[in-house]
């Protein structure tokens, strides 16, 4: 995984160099940049189109995966408490992350290659979409894409816990820091997106009822619920099934968000209409859901709660109501987003 992260970092550096030197022999560079663009907008062109944004997503996933390896190896070498119980999970965690990475690399290699040659010479590129030539482009998309990707790590640990049968609090302890990092990054991405929409784009203030804006919020809502509910599992051994379901759905919704943007099946000002990769993301989403929920059903008997709610006014009940609130908002937003599509079917 470390080698893949290094290679992808090198590939990103090569593409950035192609942008900065205006190498219009590369189709993606010609489509997303031009000679009159300032260098900082040229840099933001890296993730300004479909191929580049997926490339950036994949690169971030490789960096986070390498970070998982480095952090847990470091903790083991330092003899930090509790890490011995995490080690059996790591092979399956890395295998899951590698599976996700393989899917994205396949998309990049065979369907939307950012290094595809243009095939003929041109003097200047088409340039970035004028709406994207804003300072918000320098921060909002990369943070939001990294936030999407970050839910891969909690999902991978949840899968590892189900595969190994280590369904106590070990995997919860292992992913707390990763969940907090991802939740913070995506939260900042959402805030920056609201600021950008307000000050320049005119899409209805800070927030507009747009499918892409909606689905970007969904993983963050479930991640917020998860950060609260894991405390109940750690202290009382409760909500085990619920926590795994939240991990699965947060990651699945990040893939769903990518599908919505790339498929064009739901009209949005953010969408890449008529993209060819949408069906592949839908198939991958189905594999993720059926595979992980199948594992959950297989381990259901081992996920019984070790405690009970003392009363409706207990601390645990308050956390449960908190979770139901966030999950309810996520469900209403999700249903409102897909209902037009279902009603037209």
Q: What is the pLDDT of residues 43-76, one digit of tens each?
A: 999 998 889 999 999 999 999 999 999 988 776 6
Phi-psi bin for 82: left (phi > 0), alpha (psi -120 to 50), beta? left
Contact by Cβ (8 Å): 141, 51: no
Average pLDDT over residues 151-163: 96
3-class state of residue 131 by DSSP: helix
Outline where DSSP puts E strands in 103-185.
none
Residue carrying the six token digits 């991405």: 189
CB-based burial, 121-135: b 16+ in 10 Å, e otherwise: eeeebebbeeebbbe
Contact by Cβ (8 Å): 262, 145: no
Q: Which of 20-34, 82-96, 246-260 has the lowest mean pLDDT?
A: 82-96
* Full-model pTM: 0.92
- Cα distances from 176 to residues 186, 203, 306, in angstroms, run 15, 35, 21
3-class state of residue 34 by DSSP: coil
Contact by Cβ (8 Å): 101, 48: no
CB atoms within 10 A of CB 306: 10
Confidence of residue 343 (pLDDT cuts 50, 70, 90): confident
The pLDDT score that the predictor gives to residue 313 is 65
Higher pLDDT, 235 or 11: 11
- Cα distances from 272 to residues 48, 261, 268, 276, 313, in angstroms, run 11, 6, 9, 10, 48
Give the separation between CA 208 and CA 5, rounded to whole angstroms.
Answer: 36
The pLDDT score that the predictor gives to residue 266 is 65
Average pLDDT over residues 184-203: 84
How far is the first Cα of the chain from the last one, in angstroms, to the nearest whole number? 42
Give the separation between CA 226 and CA 244, rounded to whole angstroms.
Answer: 9
Give the separation between CA 300 and CA 293, rounded to whole angstroms.
Answer: 10
Higher pLDDT, 236 or 217: 217
Contact by Cβ (8 Å): 7, 59: no
Give the separation between CA 34 and CA 29, rounded to whole angstroms.
Answer: 8
> Would the pLDDT of 273 be above 50?
no
Q: Which of 9-18, 99-108, 259-268 has the lowest mean pLDDT?
A: 259-268
Backbone angles phi, psi at 100, to 5 degrees: -65, -45
> Would the pLDDT of 296 be above 80?
yes
Under 8 Å CB-to-CB from 83, ≥6 apart: which residues? Answer: 72, 75, 76
Q: Which of 51-60, 108-117, 196-205, 277-286 has the lowest mean pLDDT?
A: 196-205
Residue carrying the six token digits 């030539």: 133
Average pLDDT over residues 294-323: 82
Dihedral through CA 261, CA 267, CA 272, CA 273, nearest 10?
140
């Amino acid at each position: 995984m470390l080698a893949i992260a290094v290679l992808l970092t090198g590939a990103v550096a090569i593409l950035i160099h192609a942008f900065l030197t205006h190498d219009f022999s590369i189709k993606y560079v010609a489509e997303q940049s031009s000679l009159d663009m300032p260098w900082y907008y040229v840099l933001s062109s890296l993730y300004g189109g479909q191929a580049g944004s997926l490339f950036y997503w994949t690169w971030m996933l490789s960096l986070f995966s390498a970070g998982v390896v480095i952090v847990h190896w470091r903790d083991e070498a330092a003899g930090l408490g509790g890490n011995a119980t995490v080690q059996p999970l790591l092979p399956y965690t890395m295998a899951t992350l590698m599976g996700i990475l393989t899917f994205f690399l396949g998309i990049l290699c065979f369907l939307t290659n950012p290094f595809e040659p243009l095939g003929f010479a041109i003097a200047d590129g088409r340039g970035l979409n004028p709406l994207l030539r804003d300072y918000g482009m320098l921060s909002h998309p990369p943070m939001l894409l990294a936030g999407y990707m970050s839910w891969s790590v909690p999902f991978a640990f949840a899968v590892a816990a189900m595969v190994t049968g280590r369904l106590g609090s070990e995997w919860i302890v292992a992913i707390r820091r990763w969940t907090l990092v991802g939740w913070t990054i995506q939260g900042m991405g959402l805030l920056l997106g609201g600021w950008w929409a307000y000050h320049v784009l005119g899409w209805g203030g800070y927030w507009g009822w747009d499918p892409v804006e909606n689905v970007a919020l969904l993983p963050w809502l479930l991640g917020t619920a998860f950060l609260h509910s894991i405390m109940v599992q750690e202290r009382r051994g409760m909500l085990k099934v619920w926590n795994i379901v939240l991990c699965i759905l947060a990651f699945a919704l990040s893939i769903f968000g990518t599908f919505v943007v790339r498929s064009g099946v739901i009209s949005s000002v953010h969408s890449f209409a008529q993209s060819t990769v949408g069906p592949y993301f839908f198939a991958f989403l189905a594999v993720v859901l059926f595979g992980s929920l199948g594992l959950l059903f297989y381990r259901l008997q081992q996920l019984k709660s070790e405690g009970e709610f003392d009363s409706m006014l207990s601390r645990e009940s308050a956390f449960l109501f908190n979770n139901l609130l966030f999950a309810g908002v996520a469900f209403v937003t999700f249903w409102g987003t897909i209902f037009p599509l279902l009603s037209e079917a």
